[in-house]
Amino acid sequence: MNTESIDFQAFIEWDNNPFILFSAQGKILYLNNAAEILFGYVSKKELYDIALSYAPQSFGYKTTSLALNYDSFIFHAITIGYENEEQISLRLYNTPRIKPTRKIETDKLIVTDINILLEANIALFRTKNTNPLQLLTDQDLPPFKLNQNNFSKLLRKTFDTFRASDSIDISLKLLVGQHVIIENKKEAIVQLAIHANGRYADTDDVIRTLASESQIKCILNEHAIKLEIPLIQ
């Protein structure tokens, strides 16, 4: 089959896996849509360094399996390739998201003002800790359906990881333009983000489990926990 006349650029452009073409000097010659979003979370230099470190010894393509984690982006492998001395390409493979095995029973959820649960958990946190806390919240968030008990447990566990942290910043906001599909319905997403100078990671597994039970995406890193909560109506 003659493929010479086919322009493959659009296929790469709209590939969900990030693709970047660097020059020999580390400049970006081309990047696709997915890579453009990725650069919001990782520096050009970091990815270029990865490309050089995992490049094949001579011309050609080499795929290496490794775990990379940038905020909510998780990759399980990369392919580095070059056919001349001028250009080197990097392709990152998204780790497929595991579909929750547990179905969320939306009829059992109770319409809740998330700000109340958040405030109550802050009060609980303050019975045990005196760390300074800053809260920036959106009081206009509409009430939405939640498993109140489960979500409270998740909040308690999340806050507990900051028990020895200074300058804890809590923010609650609607992620404009982002949605998640639950039970075939498109739902908006509220993000609860807690940042501090550091945190304990001893209960991260429990946090992940509790979050997944409520269809909440959690992003855990060294200094922060972000919970992306579906605003189920």
Tokens of 82: 């070059």
200: which residues sit within 8 A by CB, 6+ positions away?
160, 161, 162, 163, 164
Residue type at 153 in one-letter notation: K
Of 98 and 123, the one with the shorter C-beta distance to another protein is: 123
Give 17 or 115: the residue with its C-beta nearer to another protein: 115
| Alpha-carbon gap, residue 196 to 119, rounded angstroms | 18
- Smaller CB distance to another protein: residue 29 or 120? 120
The least CB distance from residue 161 to another protein, in Å, is 14
Residue whose CB is less far from another protein, 148 or 191:
148
Supply the minimum distance, in Å, between the C-beta of residue 117 and another protein. 7
Please give the residue ranges that form the binding site for another protein (CB under 8 A).
Answer: 108, 110, 112, 116-117, 119-121, 123-124, 126-128, 148-150, 152-153, 156
What is residue 77's three-state secondary structure?
Answer: strand
73-82 vs 60-70, strand pairing mode: antiparallel
Give the Cα separation of 71 and 69 in Å (integer): 6
CB of 105 to another protein, least distance (A): 10
Query: Cβ 174 to another protein, closest distance in Å?
Result: 22
Q: Say whether 58 sits in a helix, a strand or coil.
A: coil
